[in-house]
A and B are shown apart, each in its own frame.
Chain A
Amino acid sequence: MKLLYSLPEERRRQLRVDAEEFWYCVPYDLSEEQNFVSDSYVIVTKERIVVSRQDEVVFEANLRDCKQIVCESLINNGILTVWWKDAERTPVRIARFSMRWLVPFSYIARGATMLSQGNLHKVVSRELDNTCPKCGYALPGIRVCPHCNGRQETLRKMRELCRPYIPRFLLVTALMVLGSIVSIAVPKVQQQFIDSALLDRQGGMSDVLVFVAVMLLLTVLSIVITIASNWYSTVLGAGMSYDLRAKMFQKIQRLSLSFVQERKPGELMNRIVSDTVQIRRFLEGIFSDICAQLFKMVGAMIVMALIDVKLLLWSLVFAPVVLLGSMLMDKQMRTRFRRERNKSDVLNSQLQDVISGMSVVKSFGKEQEESVRFQHVAEDNTRVQISNNVFFACVMPCFVFVLGLGVYVATYFGGLRVLDNGMTPGMLMQFVSYVSMMYAPLNGLVRFSRIFSQMLTSMERIYDILDEPEDSGETRERKAYAIDGDIEFRNVTFGYKTYEPVLTHIDLTVKKGEMIGLVGASGSGKTTLINLLMGLYEVDDGELYLNGKNIAEIDRNSLHSQIGVVLQETFLFNGTILDNIRYAKPDATYDEIIRAAKAANAHDFICRTPDGYETYVGERGYTLSGGERQRIAIARAVLNQPKLLILDEATSSLDTESEYLVQKALDRLMENCTTFAIAHRLSTLRSADRLVVIDGHRIAEIGTHEELLQKKGIYYGLVMAQLQMSKVTGEAS
């Protein structure tokens, strides 16, 4: 999101900020008097924070006097507060804003606080706007407002995308042209037959036979062409959406984790699945359908003009009426369908509510009330359905009549021409056929423009991903590199959002083979430290070295193949236990797998399952307990003989006894392996060589269990608290 809005020169002069460089400038939209305000800004320069309301300065302060600038999130709005260094002064509310501005203000609050401490680092926001700041248009996960910037860019991309498929497009188009020629030929043949054979009863048996044969041929030809053209446009649409999907999937895999995490997982899935489907549907259905009709329409109009231009113009009289009618009809249909769908959603959710809560309903004796409530909703639903059905039953035939109005005009004027001998009866019939051909696509055109714009939105969402610049680190060349477990954090600072550091100034040197226990309250940054070690994020400041090599220069694949990870949330893929254990090393022998399973204390329970190592697990498979899943995950992590083992609450679901067993086995197996372990249960970490206590975004204490106990600091407090709690719960129960 934009954190630096610009002000016109004159306004800067009026506010007397024209001499200073703006660091941040964001508008706010609510006043103290419960009104929306416009043209009002919070301006942060290197030295000052200024709040303006139109041409007036309503608050200003020197950043040196400020201790902190805080963005507080209230109920559906937020405020910006200044806290003073002088403790005597009470904090001041300087601006109030709707949710639209909450994110930018939380960034600039952080940025301004940093400035007040003399830190000149500029914070940036990677979040995307939900709506266009200029026009208020919704931006569903896209950066450029299609409304403000026009759709040229997207159309250009569309052309780009279509380029490799041009031969196939040409083929489909050629088929369509051919199809429309055949359609246009039919009335012509009929005209010939009527005028030359039927009119004066001059023709004979042979004429009738030839006519029937030609008509049959044309029909068959038309069917064949339609099938071919549908076939090829389906192939084209499916091919393009397949290519797009593959491209997007590859791209998402290459993008940094932060890009993926900034977006909701469902949303990314949607883009790969539904947005590409949208494009396929467009090409398959709408494109082939509407284009074929359009070709027919144009062809028919050309032939009509050749027959009689005046008559053509007369026939067109009702075209605007039909277009308008189509537009109204389209709107009505959408509104009515939506209403019906909404009502049936309400009905379904109500039904689901009652059925899944049946035991509660019954135990409170509320059956009667629930029935009445349900009846209410059901009646509502029925009312809408009846209204819709009546509407369509009455209006549809009228609409079809309107669509055919052109034919009446053409017949009237054409009939007069025939009586004047200006036209043969056959030609009149031919002409009238063309009129209906000309009117047919008008109804579709309305739909077309709507679906076309939906398709473009999908395109924009797809290109939002395809155009995203890849990981900043990619600029540095990364190479495969063998690590052996020496690790060094040098003054590392990192935050998922630049305005909110999670870890600051981390200095830590770990020797090969050491076991490090990470201790700290939830949210203190233990998992973050591990994420950095795994190279999932890049450090904001400072360096992280593995064996003296900067982690930014190590190829991620090579790095990950040397790290074993067991996370708190154990994720098993759909497949057998065997597949899951050898995920990291597909060529592992049975022998290696069994050893790994034994080390993880998983072998015994695996043998107890009916299918042994071939037991199917995952979403629809055999249900494993939390402890069993963790043990499989541990086996998976150690199979590879990693140089660095990361255990994030890896044994939290095990009972104390099996935890002890697993730890002993891991100790033996992992002699040369550096281990980082996070655990809330401190007893888990007793075999750690050193414990690192993280508190207040930094390393607060470091040392062995004994050293830290003697120090009587945070760790001591944690140990004592846990001891106490276990005593209390133990003895009270």
Chain B
Amino acid sequence: MGPMGRPPGGGRARFDRAAQNSSMGLQAPHQEIDLEKMDEESEQMLILRYLNQDNAAFTRTEGGFLDLKTDGKLYQKVQVIRMFPNTDKNRYLSVREGTERAREIGVINDLKKDFDRATGRAIEEQLNVRYFTPVITKLLSVKEESGYAYFVVMTDYGECRFAFRTNNNAVVKLSENRIFIQDLENNRFEIPDIRKLSVKEQRKLDMFL
């Protein structure tokens, strides 16, 4: 998949005409700029620009963030966002400005292929910080009391306990065997494959499915 070209220019022509008309009507010099800016913005909106080793240089800052130099510009503290966080963790990553508007700078198609190992690790670090969904590997204790479930579990982040409401769609089935549990604090836990739990654990869990 290559970068998408400019769309055929129908829309642009119409806006240009409108811009001319209005500037003539108002006689105010700086209005044109506004419209042109918006025009440009809508143009930008359609661009799908892929970043790779050749056109983008990521550097990890001392404070633990990422700077990006691309297209002759330096972007500080960029954000890296997964477009498909649940199925494809290392592909289609949207790289965005660190500002409040968080405009997209470009897209990484495949982290493993398009960047060297060191850059890949630096970007992965950002992803690991941004996304927090502990994976449950073992159910240590499951209790239920007055409409709340109390879980003590082992996760890839270590042991932890959490609580959720039993009648509140806190448990979401992503597919037949993969589930997310959202606790009272809005943390999310994942069980990638319930069949991998022991029969006893599955029976405990079944009550909440």
Could you tell me if B22 and A727 are in contact, using CB atoms closer than 8 angstroms?
A: yes
- Closest Cβ–Cβ distance, residue B53 to chain A (whole Å): 23
Could you tell me if A35 and B209 are in contact, using CB atoms closer than 8 angstroms?
A: no
CA distance A30 to B187 in the complex (A): 12
Residues in A with CB closer than 8 Å to B140 are none
Contacting chain B: which of A70-78, A464-472, A642-650? A70-78
Could you tell me if B188 and A76 are in contact, using CB atoms closer than 8 angstroms?
A: yes
CA distance A267 to B26 in the complex (A): 54
Knowing A36-B159, A338-B166, A724-B26, the reply to whether A98 touches B207 (Cβ < 8 A) is no
- Closest Cβ–Cβ distance, residue A731 to chain B (whole Å): 6
- Closest Cβ–Cβ distance, residue B206 to chain A (whole Å): 7
Contacting chain A: which of B104-112, B113-121, B128-136? B128-136
A417-473 interface (Cβ within 8 A of B): 453-454, 457
- Closest Cβ–Cβ distance, residue A345 to chain B (whole Å): 9
Knowing A90-B63, A92-B62, the reply to whether A74 touches B163 (Cβ < 8 A) is no
B158 within 8 Å of A by Cβ? yes
- For chain B, what secondary structure do more than half of its interface residues adopt (helix, strand, loop), or is it mixed? mixed
CA distance A136 to B153 in the complex (A): 13
Could you tell me if A721 and B34 are in contact, using CB atoms closer than 8 angstroms?
A: yes
- Closest Cβ–Cβ distance, residue A1 to chain B (whole Å): 11
CA distance A138 to B159 in the complex (A): 19
Residues in A with CB closer than 8 Å to B206 are 339
- Closest Cβ–Cβ distance, residue A169 to chain B (whole Å): 25
Could you tell me if B162 and A136 are in contact, using CB atoms closer than 8 angstroms?
A: yes
Could you tell me if A130 and B184 are in contact, using CB atoms closer than 8 angstroms?
A: yes
Knowing A130-B185, A136-B150, A727-B25, the reply to whether A76 touches B131 (Cβ < 8 A) is yes
A98-134 interface (Cβ within 8 A of B): 98-100, 130-131
CA distance A339 to B128 in the complex (A): 36
- Closest Cβ–Cβ distance, residue B188 to chain A (whole Å): 5
B15-33 interface (Cβ within 8 A of A): 15, 18-19, 21-22, 25-26, 28, 31
1/0 per residue B117-147: CB within 8 Å of A? 0000000000011111100000000000111
Residues in B with CB closer than 8 Å to A721 are 34
B23-53 interface (Cβ within 8 A of A): 25-26, 28, 31, 34-35
A170 within 8 Å of B by Cβ? no
CA distance A90 to B145 in the complex (A): 48
Could you tell me if B65 and A74 are in contact, using CB atoms closer than 8 angstroms?
A: no
Residues in B with CB closer than 8 Å to A89 are 63
- Chain B's closest residue to A77 (CB) is B132
CA distance A721 to B19 in the complex (A): 12
Number of A-B contacts (CB under 8 A): 119
A93 within 8 Å of B by Cβ? yes
Residues in B with CB closer than 8 Å to A342 are 209
- Closest Cβ–Cβ distance, residue B160 to chain A (whole Å): 6
B165-202 interface (Cβ within 8 A of A): 165-166, 184-188
Could you tell me if A75 and B146 are in contact, using CB atoms closer than 8 angstroms?
A: no
- Chain A's closest residue to B160 (CB) is A36
Residues in A with CB closer than 8 Å to B163 are 131, 136-138
Could you tell me if A720 and B28 are in contact, using CB atoms closer than 8 angstroms?
A: yes
A513 within 8 Å of B by Cβ? no
B61 within 8 Å of A by Cβ? yes
B84 within 8 Å of A by Cβ? no
CA distance A90 to B161 in the complex (A): 36
B65-107 interface (Cβ within 8 A of A): 65, 67, 76-77, 85
Knowing A727-B25, A732-B14, the reply to whether A91 touches B63 (Cβ < 8 A) is yes
Could you tell me if A454 and B157 are in contact, using CB atoms closer than 8 angstroms?
A: no
Return the contact of A100 from the options B156, B185, B207 (Cβ within 8 A): B185
Return the contact of A731 from the options B18, B148, B166 (Cβ within 8 A): B18
1/0 per residue A697-733: CB within 8 Å of B? 0000000000000000000000011011001100110
CA distance A138 to B183 in the complex (A): 10
Could you tell me if B34 and A724 are in contact, using CB atoms closer than 8 angstroms?
A: yes
- Chain B's closest residue to A93 (CB) is B64
- Chain A's closest residue to B82 (CB) is A75
Residues in A with CB closer than 8 Å to B184 are 130-131, 138
Residues in A with CB closer than 8 Å to B209 are 339, 342
CA distance A732 to B15 in the complex (A): 8
CA distance A516 to B156 in the complex (A): 59
Could you tell me if A74 and B130 are in contact, using CB atoms closer than 8 angstroms?
A: yes
CA distance A147 to B186 in the complex (A): 22
Could you tell me if A75 and B185 are in contact, using CB atoms closer than 8 angstroms?
A: no
1/0 per residue A476-514: CB within 8 Å of B? 000000000000000000000000000000000000000
CA distance A680 to B167 in the complex (A): 42
CA distance A35 to B157 in the complex (A): 4
A79 within 8 Å of B by Cβ? yes
A258 within 8 Å of B by Cβ? no
CA distance A96 to B160 in the complex (A): 16
Residues in A with CB closer than 8 Å to B132 are 30, 74-77, 98
A196 within 8 Å of B by Cβ? no
- Closest Cβ–Cβ distance, residue A258 to chain B (whole Å): 22
Interface-central residue, A34, A35, A96, A457, by most chain B CB under 10 Å: A34
CA distance A36 to B209 in the complex (A): 27
Residues in A with CB closer than 8 Å to B128 are 34
- Closest Cβ–Cβ distance, residue A482 to chain B (whole Å): 46
Return the contact of B131 from the options A74, A90, A131, A138 (Cβ within 8 A): A74
CA distance A91 to B64 in the complex (A): 8
Return the contact of A90 from the options B19, B61, B156, B162 (Cβ within 8 A): B61
Return the contact of B157 from the options A34, A90, A720 (Cβ within 8 A): A34
A8-44 interface (Cβ within 8 A of B): 30, 32, 34-36
Q: A76-B187, A91-B61, A131-B163 are in contact. List 12 more A-B contacts (CB 8 A).
A: A36-B160, A77-B132, A82-B63, A96-B129, A99-B186, A100-B185, A137-B150, A138-B148, A339-B206, A339-B209, A454-B147, A727-B18
Residues in B lying within 8 Å of A, measured CB to CB: 14-15, 18-19, 21-22, 25-26, 28, 31, 34-35, 61-65, 67, 76-77, 85, 128-133, 145-148, 150, 156-163, 165-166, 184-188, 206-207, 209
11 contacts between A and B (CB under 8 A): A34-B157, A75-B131, A90-B76, A93-B129, A130-B184, A136-B161, A137-B150, A140-B148, A727-B22, A728-B18, A728-B22
Which A-B residue pairs are the 3 nearest by beta carbons? A92-B63, A77-B132, A93-B64
